[in-house]
């Protein structure tokens, strides 16, 4: 029996990246006192009004098939949300409802890229991106960033990586894992490169509502770039509802019908009651959303303060998102080695920087998904381990 090449392309791109997290989770389920700082799952409660909307919709019979593109009310809510954000009109015809950001990114890549194409991705990058590009058949091409530049990708680096086969630039701002938020000037410079080379831009914006002092900017919000941009997001992080799998792709209206064809081949419609809840999430203000952003900022500040003055670990305040990259290069250990030592000796799980590409080497990623007090204790133990390792090495 023979299989299609897609499963071969995806082989080895998933489990290895999450090995430390999986082992920590196994131990936690056995009752060990593990502090889980390895996965970006918000720990704070979602908006009660959104949960109530989902429950009410179910009880009203909103459990039948949904439209393939999305329910009209939901598409309008997403379009209005993006219009308010950018000041540029977005119509429901420009929106596809998806089962979360991952499903939206997969739909976008399958629509735009194929075998023989290349997809450029700033490095470090989210751990699932390699699999997403591989699923399309395209070649994954990392574009290096530097810790000294706060991991901001430059237009010059992108242009150097472009070949005749380059078809798509996959951006993520605010970035997971680095917390980098691209400025308007940076977006415009990158957009000019994409214009010169006629590239599509797919932008993962799942943390768009979680910026700190750096204002969010999307290429979809820039008039010259909107027609070549597919903006992908969800309420997984902003509203602490990852299990809802409720997201969208916004694009030029000429692109939407093609996205719908691909989406319907994978998942013919969604759950109407969850779409109704997403509409409430975006149409109304919820105090829980602001508390989420405030909590993540406070926790990031707690973490950065905890490593102030350390000779062996440094931490920069992220510009957005819910993660911090710790630079542990002075310990002479890789991120992978340091992460396993943390789990074995301190009962703390973190993600090795290498799980996010070569650019993450010598770093570990901390998820800000525990309260500030627990995070502070974990940081003290991380710092002590680094000092101990360096002392042992002489």
CATH of the domain at 236: 3.40.640.10
Domain membership of residue 14 (yes or no) is: yes
Angle between helices 72-86 and 272-283 (to 10 degrees): 30
* Whole-structure pTM value: 0.95
| Strand partners for 142 | 121
Answer yes or no: do 197 and 241 share one domain. yes
Task: Give the DSSP H/E element, type plus range, for residue 346.
Answer: helix 335-346
Q: How many domains does the chain have?
A: 2
Whole-number CA gyration radius for the chain: 21
Answer yes or no: do 79 and 14 share one domain. no
Answer yes or no: do 219 and 334 share one domain. no
Domain membership of residue 151 (yes or no) is: yes
Edge-to-edge order in the sheet of strand 363-367:
314-315, 323-327, 363-367, 351-352
Token pair 């591989």: residue: 134
Domain end among 230, 256, 283: 283
Domain end among 283, 312, 337: 283
How far CA 227 is from CA of 241, 250, 255, in Å, comes to: 30, 10, 9
Answer yes or no: do 233 and 261 share one domain. yes
Domain membership of residue 54 (yes or no) is: no
Cβ partners under 8 Å of residue 8, min gap 6: none
Answer yes or no: do 113 and 192 share one domain. yes
Answer yes or no: do 133 and 178 share one domain. yes
The token pair at 153 is: 């990708």
Per-residue pLDDT of the chain (394 residues; tens, 9 = 90+): 888 888 888 887 777 789 999 999 999 999 999 999 999 899 999 999 999 999 999 999 999 999 999 999 999 999 999 999 999 999 999 999 999 999 999 999 999 999 999 999 999 999 999 999 999 999 999 999 999 999 999 999 999 999 999 999 999 999 999 999 999 999 999 999 999 999 999 999 999 999 998 999 999 999 999 999 999 999 999 999 999 999 999 999 999 999 999 999 998 889 999 999 999 999 999 999 999 999 999 999 999 999 999 989 999 999 999 999 999 999 999 999 999 999 999 999 999 999 999 999 999 999 999 999 999 999 999 999 999 888 777 6
Domain extent, residue 357, equals 5-45+287-389
Domain membership of residue 118 (yes or no) is: yes
Answer yes or no: do 202 and 342 share one domain. no
Answer yes or no: do 252 and 297 share one domain. no
| Separation between Cα atoms, residue 4 and residue 88, nearest integer Å | 43
Answer yes or no: do 22 and 83 share one domain. no
């Amino acid at each position: 029996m023979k299989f299609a090449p897609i499963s071969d392309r995806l082989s080895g791109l998933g489990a290895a990246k999450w090995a430390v997290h999986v082992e920590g989770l196994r131990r936690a389920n056995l009752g060990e006192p593990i502090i889980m700082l390895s996965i970006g799952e918000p720990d704070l409660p979602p908006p009660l009004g959104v949960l109530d909307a989902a429950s009410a919709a179910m009880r009203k019979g909103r459990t039948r098939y949904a439209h393939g593109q999305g329910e009209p009310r939901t598409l309008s809510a997403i379009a209005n949300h993006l219009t308010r954000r950018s000041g540029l009109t977005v119509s429901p015809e420009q929106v596809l409802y998806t089962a979360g950001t991952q499903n939206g990114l997969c739909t976008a890549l399958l629509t735009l890229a194929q075998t023989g194409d290349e997809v450029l991705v700033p490095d470090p990058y989210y751990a699932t991106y390699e699999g997403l590009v591989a699923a399309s058949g395209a070649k994954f091409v990392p574009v290096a960033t530097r810790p000294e530049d706060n991991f901001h990708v430059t237009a010059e680096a992108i242009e150097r990586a472009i070949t005749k086969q380059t078809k798509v630039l996959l951006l993520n701002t605010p970035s997971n894992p680095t917390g980098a938020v691209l400025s308007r000037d940076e977006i415009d410079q990158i957009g000019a490169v994409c214009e010169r080379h006629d590239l599509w831009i797919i932008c993962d914006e799942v943390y768009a509502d979680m910026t700190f002092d750096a204002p969010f900017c999307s290429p979809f919000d820039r008039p010259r770039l909107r027609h070549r941009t597919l903006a992908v997001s969800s309420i997984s992080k902003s509203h602490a509802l990852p299990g809802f799998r409720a997201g969208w792709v916004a694009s030029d209206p000429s692109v939407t019908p093609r996205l719908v064809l691909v989406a319907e081949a994978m998942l013919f419609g969604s759950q109407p009651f969850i779409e109704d809840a997403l509409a409430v999430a975006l149409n109304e203000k919820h105090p829980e959303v602001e508390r989420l952003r405030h909590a993540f900022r406070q926790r990031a500040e707690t973490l950065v303060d905890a490593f102030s003055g350390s000779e062996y670990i440094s931490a920069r305040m992220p510009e957005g998102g819910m993660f911090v990259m710790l630079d542990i290069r002075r310990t002479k250990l890789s991120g992978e080695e340091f992460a396993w030592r943390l789990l074995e000796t301190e009962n703390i799980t973190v993600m090795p920087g290498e799980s996010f590409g070569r650019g993450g080497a010598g770093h570990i990623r901390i998820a800000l998904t525990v309260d500030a007090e627990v995070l502070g204790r974990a940081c003290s133990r991380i710092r002590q381990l680094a000092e101990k390792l360096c002392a042992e090495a002489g």
